[in-house]
Amino acid sequence: MLSRLMSSSIRSLDREYNCTVRLLDDSEYTCTIQRDAKGQYLFDLICHHLNLLEKDYFGIRYVDPDKQRVSVNFPKYFMTQPPFTMCLRVKFYPPDPAALKEEITRYLVFLQVKRDLYHGRLLCKTSDAALLAAYILQAEIGDYDPGKHPEGYSSKFQFFPKHSEKLERRIAEIHKTELIGQTPETSELNFLHKAQTLETYGVDPHPCKDVSGNPAFLAFTPFGFTVLQGNRRIHFLTWEEVTKLKFEAKTFHIYANQTEDRKIILTYFAPTPEACKHLWKCGVENQAFFKLEKSSQVRTVSSSNLFFKGSRFRYSGKVAKEVMEQSAKIKRDPPEIHRAGMVPSRSCPSITHGPRLTSVPRTRRRAVHISIMEGLESLRDSAHSTPVRSVSHGDSFMASRGQMEDGGEASTSAVISDETYSPSDSVLPTPVAEHGMEMPLARHHNGAPCNIDEESSSEKGALKEGQAAESGPGRRALRMVRTKPSSPSDVEELNKFILSVLRLFLVTIGLLFALLLLLIMLTESDLDIAFLRDIRKTPEFQQFHFEYFCPLRRWFACKLRWMGGFLVSK
């Protein structure tokens, strides 16, 4: 009896393990969960611990043993692997943080955006950076007090990856003169008001490469899909324009309709197939959350055009409009908020670095410094920066790309600049129809749509366009198309399409043949069913039965008897 109780207790212990979740304020929450528990169970425990009701904006993710970021899928069983340290993060950034019902939700979003600013994912010009940092300082330490805050006190706080003394003085000046009397709640709300106007608000960068091998970052924001290269946004598509997201192995495709006669396809390559699948799932979830009116409109999507090929995924949560309607019904006393002091945060890849695949905590990664240009004057005089205008907000950080040492993870180090985008360049080249298609489609190169109609122009005109192509990456892509009409990637895509069509044809033929054999067996059987009796009485069936089926049956019977006699004689 005692041994039975001990064995049952050991089995129950094997089914449980401790799970640690790092929260947005860098504190840790530890709980014990069953190995067969679903992700929703752990998420509900965390939200109960935080007293959080507007929880649909948040999610849990961790880094698996292959150094790949993984988002916990709440409806599925959690995991059967050894325990990981997971992180609670904002999964869907609210388009208007001021519209959030409860202050606890705004505070958690504030912590996430502050983390984004620290890690270089929230790009802005110097004046905006100084104001954002001053809001953080006011929320953390309150009004300026000469007795408590000596000269240079703002330098003791790390708001950005790296910044100049001039910027520190500007932060302190704003904090001393412009923010007096603001409560932490007001400062946090003003911080979010300013942050949401920046074009990289809500960006969670995924490192990729275009078809030419140039590094880029893909991201999904509350307003649409964006592509960043060299710390600048080169593409932006609203969720209404994005029609489909597809991936195959490491290749990721974005289909979009800008107008009725302008369709574009962007193609990028992820570091691994697992990273590409994670990117695709993030895109499907963000599109469903921000684009749809009701969760009942959510459909299962496939990564391929064929039903028997590719991955299938379905977003399982509420959509943004339903979350806002549900938040409006919350009626309770505001929960108490325990604000934490400024602690350097840990997070995932920065736009200002080379590509990273993981969000391993900073304590477990090796710091790598980025070669930067010190001083705003040298940045203004630099002739190497090529301004590119973005769709909405045109200011950015300026930092050169870091080099990874010994395979270690990069830690953020950047300098802020007054450099602005040029108003002369457009974000997206004009997509034009592709030859041989009834519905015009724009082909893609280097992640940019190409002008196919101009290929039929004279050789002289093509040469002029090639000379003008030096002004931007999109036009360089056009020049590449004219000199190389057929790239290996196009041939590979055509081969894959032909193989898919052949596979579909063979499967269809096999199914029809199997159905024909099943029908013959039923009609030749002794089953007394009305529709089978009607088939047997038709002249066509009688002819088939006596001229084909009976001779074939006798031939098979003869061969079986011969084989039986041959085996018996041996």
Residue 79 lies in a domain: yes
Q: What is the pLDDT of residues 225-281, one digit of tens each?
A: 999 998 789 999 999 999 999 998 899 999 999 877 888 999 999 999 999 999 999
**Could you tell me what percent of the chain has a pLDDT over 70?**
68
Interhelix angle 165-177/126-141, rounded to 10 degrees, is 50
**Per-residue pLDDT tens over the stretch 529-558:** 887 878 888 888 888 888 888 888 888 889
- Confidence band of 427 (pLDDT split at 50, 70, 90): very low
Range of the domain at 144: 97-122+124-196
- In a shared domain, residues 253 and 295: yes
Instruction: Provide the β-strand partners of residue 228.
Output: 217, 233
Q: Per residue, what are the HEC states of 126-191?
A: HHHHHHHHHHHHHHHHCCCCCCCCCCCHHHHCCCCCCCCHHHHHHHHHHHHHCCCCCCHHHHHHHH
Asked whether residue 218 falls in the same domain as residue 320, the answer is: yes
Q: Give dist(CA 469, CA 467) in Å, integer.
A: 5
Rounded to the nearest 10 degrees, the angle between the axes of helix 126-141 and helix 184-195 is 160
Flag whether 171 is in a domain. yes
Report the alpha-carbon distance of residue 73 to residue 232 in Å, rounded.
Answer: 32
Kindly state whether residues 226 and 176 are assigned to the same domain.
Answer: no
Assigned domain for 25 exists: yes
Domains contained in the chain, number: 4
- What CA–CA distance (Å, rounded) separates 438 from 529? 50
The partner residues of 63 in beta bridges, in order of sequence, read 69
The verdict on residue 517 lying in a domain is yes
The model's confidence at residue 462, banded by pLDDT at 50, 70 and 90, is: very low
Examine residue 537 and state whether it is found in any structural domain, yes or no: yes
Q: Taking the model in full, what pTM does it have?
A: 0.63
Is 442 inside any structural domain? no
Same domain for 224 and 319, yes or no, is yes
213 and 323 assigned to the same domain: yes
Q: Transcribe 93-127 into DSSP letters.
A: --S-GGG-S-HHHHHHHHHHHHHHHHTT-S---HH
Considering the domain boundaries, does residue 391 fall inside one? no
The residue from 295, 328, 361 where one domain ends is: 328
Q: Provide the pLDDT confidence category of residue 184 given band limits of 50, 70 and 90.
A: very high
118 and 31 part of one domain: no
Give the position of tokens 């691994």: 272
Residue 73, pLDDT > 80, answer: yes
Task: Say if residue 211 is in the same domain as residue 131.
Answer: no
Which letter does DSSP use for residue 335 in this model?
A: P
CB 226, CB 235: distance < 8 Å:
yes
Tokens of 144: 């300026």
Residues 183 and 211 in one domain: no
pLDDT tens digits for range 366-394: 332 323 233 333 333 333 333 333 333 33
The answer to whether residue 319 sits within a structural domain is yes
Q: Nearest 5 degrees, angle CA 490-CA 495-CA 498?
A: 125
323 and 216 in one domain?
Answer: yes
Strand partners for 433: none
pLDDT computed for residue 238 by the predictor: 94
Same domain for 53 and 32? yes
Per-residue pLDDT reduced to its tens digit, 36-62? 788 888 899 999 999 999 999 999 988
Determine the Cα–Cα distance for residues 378 and 335; give it in Å rounded to an integer.
49
Does residue 104 sit in the same domain as residue 191? yes
Q: Residue 244: which CATH number?
A: 2.30.29.30
> Can you tell me whether residue 240 is helix, strand or coil?
coil
Computed over every residue of the chain, the mean pLDDT equals 74
Which tens digits make up the pLDDT trace of 80-92? Answer: 455 567 899 999 9
- Do the Cβ atoms of 203 and 121 come closer than 8 Å? yes
Tell the residue number behind the tokens 């934490």, with chain if given: 340
- Whether residues 246 and 313 fall in one domain: yes
Cβ contacts of 404 within 8 Å, gap of 6 or more: 354, 368, 410
**Which CATH number does the domain housing residue 103 bear?**
1.20.80.10
Please say which residue of 309, 328, 347 terminates a domain.
328
Domain boundary, last residue among 328, 357, 388: 328
